């Protein structure tokens, strides 16, 4: 299992970012996302996209993100610009996940992340050591973790699917027997 935990959510200001953490987790191969309990609006959007475009993907609220980290039965990856370079640790993380079957919790922040998280993480990982965005960091990290295989994923229980095309936009209803 690969789950993504969003730490912190400032209502209003973080609405799109938190939603995009959820949508990116879903699109790029994670199994579920855990959002802070004041991010109900983001949860609704992610659940709605999953209903329309398929899953399986789970979105949940948590009133104790720290508890999720503390009690995680697997390995914890905290994405931070201060961490070790993703290209230096990705093999080790893939081995834990793929070869040893360790569930991975990927933690991303919003504002300042408390030092406890740095200490609780098995790996603090930087996608570059430059400041940027939790959405970008998550996307690159998941793509490295899955080595691009997430791009081939099939979706189940979708109502609609996009037909890829060079020009134009086509969305078709999905008839499932």
Catalog residues that contact ligand SAM under the rule CB under 6 A: 79-81, 108-110, 112-113, 126-128, 130-134, 137
- The terminus-to-terminus CA distance of the chain in angstroms comes to 28
CB of 8 to ligand SAM, least distance (A): 8
Q: For residues 53 and 97, which CB has a smaller minimum distance to ligand SAM in the complex?
A: 97
Residue 46 or 106: which CB sits closer to ligand SAM? 106
The annotation status of 120 as a binding-site residue, yes or no, is: no
Min dist. Cβ of residue 88 to ligand SAM (A): 13
Task: Please state at what angle helix 86-94 crosses helix 134-146, rounded to 10 degrees.
Answer: 50
- State whether residue 18 is helix, strand or coil: helix
Of residues 22 and 54, the one with the C-beta less far from ligand SAM:
22
Task: Report residue 129: phi and psi, to 5°.
Answer: -105, 35
The dihedral sign for the CA sequence 135, 137, 140, 145: negative
Q: Is 113 annotated to bind ligand?
A: yes
Residue nearest to ligand SAM (CB): 109
Residue 169 labeled ligand binder: no
43 annotated among ligand-binding-site residues: no
For residue 112, say whether it is annotated as part of any ligand binding site: yes
Phi-psi region of 101 (alpha: psi -120 to 50; beta: other; left: phi over 0): left
The whole-angstrom separation of Cα 64 and Cα 40 is: 15
Do residues 18 and 39 make contact, with C-beta atoms less than 8 angstroms apart?
A: yes
Here the tokens at position 86 are 């993703």
Nearest distance from residue 170's CB to ligand SAM, in Å? Answer: 34
CB of 10 to ligand SAM, least distance (A): 11
Give the annotated binding-site residues. Answer: 79, 109-113
Please report, in range form, the residues annotated as the binding site for S-adenosyl-L-methionine.
Answer: 79, 109-113
């Amino acid at each position: 299992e690969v789950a993504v935990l969003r730490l912190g959510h400032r209502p209003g200001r973080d609405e799109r970012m938190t939603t995009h953490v959820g949508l990116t987790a879903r699109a790029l191969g994670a199994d579920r996302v855990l959002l802070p309990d004041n991010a109900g609006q983001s949860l609704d959007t992610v659940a709605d996209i999953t209903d329309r475009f398929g899953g399986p993907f789970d979105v949940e609220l948590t009133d104790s993100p720290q508890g999720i980290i503390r009690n995680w039965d697997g390995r914890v990856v905290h994405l931070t610009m201060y961490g070790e370079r993703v290209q230096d640790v990705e093999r080790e993380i893939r081995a834990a996940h793929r070869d040893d079957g360790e569930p991975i919790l990927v933690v991303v922040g919003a504002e300042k992340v408390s030092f406890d998280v740095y200490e609780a993480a098995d790996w603090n990982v930087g996608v570059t050591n430059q400041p940027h965005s939790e959405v970008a960091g998550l996307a690159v990290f998941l793509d490295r973790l899955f080595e691009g295989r997430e791009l081939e994923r099939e979706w189940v229980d979708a109502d609609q699917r996009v037909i890829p095309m060079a020009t134009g936009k086509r969305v078709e209803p999905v008839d499932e027997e």
